[in-house]
Amino acid sequence: MTERELKQNNILPQEEVEAQKAYVLQLRLENERYLEAHGKRRRVFVLTFGCQQNEADSEKLLGMAESMGYESCEEPGLADLILVNTCAIREHAELKALSIVGQYKHLKAKNPSLLIGVCGCMVTQAHRVDELKRRYPYVDFTFGTSSLHRLPQLIAEKSAKGKRLFCPEESAYLVAEGLPITRKSTYRAWVSIMYGCNNFCSYCIVPYVRGRERSREMESVVAEVRDLVAAGYRDITLLGQNVNSYGKDSGYPYDFADLLSALDQLEGDFLLRFMTSHPKDADRKLIDVMASSRHIAHQFHLPMQSGSDRILRAMNRRYDTARYLDIVSYLREKMPDVTLTSDIIVGFPGESEEDFEGTLSMLERVGFDMLYSFIYSPRKGTPAAEMEQIPTDIKGARFERLLAVQNKIATEKNQPLVGRTLRVLCDGVSKTNEALYSGRSEGNKIVFFEGSPEDTGDFVTVRIDRADAFALYGQKC
């Protein structure tokens, strides 16, 4: 196949984009008429569960809704359109979303013209769509991750015909370029560089609900990042389920390290981050590019999942602890100041006490700055859900032990930062401690300090005078 054909295979055809634009125009006219008749705009409320990829998708949902003439609001009770963007990674996330959707029943009773749409990973699963069909009759439409761009069509058809709509998954998961984006922040931005996952880790639902890997073209990503930098964005995170395989799926003649090199050429005062990396694909070329770059933060999120080779095999992770340690030592050789974080799953089927101790001992050996740890949650349709499960109380007890070990390690890791000055991107008054401002260091550590309103969205320099497992504290200088 030629490069052009490969691209065409991957990218949503232009006719499809144009068809949606026609619905946008139609709805905008309708919403303008509503504004004239009622003296106020129709409002949209978007609720997001799950990962940064979902946050990024929600910024597109809001962008599309605003282009149709809706105005964003922060309360479901004020909305004419509610969109719930769901997650399926663990059962807890699904139950939470269903419970919130359940609470919208009374909003619909009060306002029958309210439209409720449920989208994202959870509703890419047939059994969850069936459940919404049967038990949540006030949900007007659902659309999965492959149909995000169809929001205008769904609203238009639901408004015209009144019938509930359950959008089937597209025959192919494609990259939709050019959707409008309304970003939450004016200085931090997410940029999706690829979608989907090919890895089929045996516990994970993502490949089933987000389809196969497909990458955006380098020129589209570079153009988006260039515009963000020009608009004053200071901290830009490139997103993908496995950014290390960027480009490979689409047969592009460039890889992730090449993309990073191209972005690093851009002029401006900004930091670039990326997530998530997979240890089987994280290569030295990528680490070399990071180490010699001007803009790439010295921060690496590298999910290890388990410290037992036997469990890593059962998880279908395709690396072992030796390979993991090899990447870590190269990272630290090239960037001694690198912040290293990881994901760990506790209680994967068949995990013995010895396997679990293997994980604890890897935590000690590697010394992660921070961990995102999860209790294994069986996901319908994945191989691990069929394996023999670990009792809930054992999973819970191991989880507590893991947290205690990691707290000690994180406290030790943060101590050497006391006395140092760090550049911190300020997020404004802290939500957890209103007497202080908070922000993130280059290593993405939370830093508390006495700030002022004009610091928000800017880099400030902070001398660290105290550290605990979760945060650094200091004075602006």
Residues that bind ligand 5AD (CB under 6 A): 89-90, 203-204, 303, 305, 343, 345, 374, 376-377, 379
Residue window 218-257: x/- pattern of binding to ligand SF4, with contact defined by CB under 6 A: -----------------------xx---------------
**Residue among 124 and 242 whose Cβ is closer to ligand SF4:** 242
Q: Could you say which of ligand 5AD, ligand SF4, none residue 208 binds, taking C-beta under 5 to 8 angstroms by partner kind?
A: none
Give the chain's largest Cα–Cα span.
69
Does 359 sit near ligand SF4 (CB under 6 A)? Answer: no
Kindly tell me the burial class for residue 374, based on how many C-beta atoms sit within 10 Å of its own C-beta (0-12, 13-18, 19 or more): middle
**Residue among 190 and 449 whose Cβ is closer to ligand 5AD:** 190
**Residue among 117 and 303 whose Cβ is closer to ligand 5AD:** 303
Cα distances from 118 to residues 11, 122, 311, 350, 419, in angstroms, run 24, 9, 35, 35, 49
Structure-token match 């955006």, residue found: 216
- Give me the least distance between CB of 302 and ligand SF4, in Å please: 12
**Residue among 30 and 309 whose Cβ is closer to ligand SF4:** 309
Residues 169 and 146: their CA atoms lie apart, in Å, by: 6
Q: Could you say which of ligand 5AD, ligand SF4, none residue 89 binds, taking C-beta under 5 to 8 angstroms by partner kind?
A: ligand 5AD
Q: Could you say which of ligand 5AD, ligand SF4, none residue 63 binds, taking C-beta under 5 to 8 angstroms by partner kind?
A: none
Q: Which string of b and e fits 394-424 if b means at least 16 CB within 10 Å?
A: ebeebbeebeebbeebbeebbeebeeeebeb
**Strand, helix or coil for residue 275:** strand
Structure-token match 């209790």, residue found: 375
Does 304 sit near ligand SF4 (CB under 6 A)? Answer: no
Q: Which of 62, 93, 204, 263 binds ligand SF4 (CB under 6 A)?
A: 204
**Residue among 54 and 199 whose Cβ is closer to ligand SF4:** 199
**Residue among 50 and 117 whose Cβ is closer to ligand SF4:** 50
Cα distances from 262 to residues 123, 225, 239, 243, in angstroms, run 36, 11, 16, 15
Does 338 sit near ligand SF4 (CB under 6 A)? Answer: no
**Residue among 377 and 444 whose Cβ is closer to ligand 5AD:** 377
**Strand, helix or coil for residue 406:** helix
Inter-residue contact 453 to 282 (CB < 8 Å): no
Residues 374 and 391: their CA atoms lie apart, in Å, by: 15
- Give me the least distance between CB of 440 and ligand 5AD, in Å please: 20
Residues 322 and 166: their CA atoms lie apart, in Å, by: 47
- Give me the least distance between CB of 413 and ligand 5AD, in Å please: 20
Does 207 sit near ligand SF4 (CB under 6 A)? Answer: yes
Residue window 262-301: x/- pattern of binding to ligand SF4, with contact defined by CB under 6 A: ----------------x-----------------------
Evaluated on CA atoms 432, 434, 436, 442, the torsion sign reads: positive
**Residue among 245 and 377 whose Cβ is closer to ligand 5AD:** 377
Inter-residue contact 435 to 449 (CB < 8 Å): no
- CA nearest 54: which of 130, 115, 104, 123? 123
Q: Could you say which of ligand 5AD, ligand SF4, none residue 379 binds, taking C-beta under 5 to 8 angstroms by partner kind?
A: ligand 5AD
Q: Give φ, ψ of 289 to 5 degrees.
A: -65, -45
Does 199 sit near ligand SF4 (CB under 6 A)? Answer: yes
Q: Which listed range, 165-173, 187-195, 198-206, 428-436, lies at the site for ligand SF4 (CB under 6 A)?
A: 198-206
Q: Which residues lie near ligand SF4 (CB under 6 A)?
A: 197, 199-201, 204, 206-207, 241-242, 278
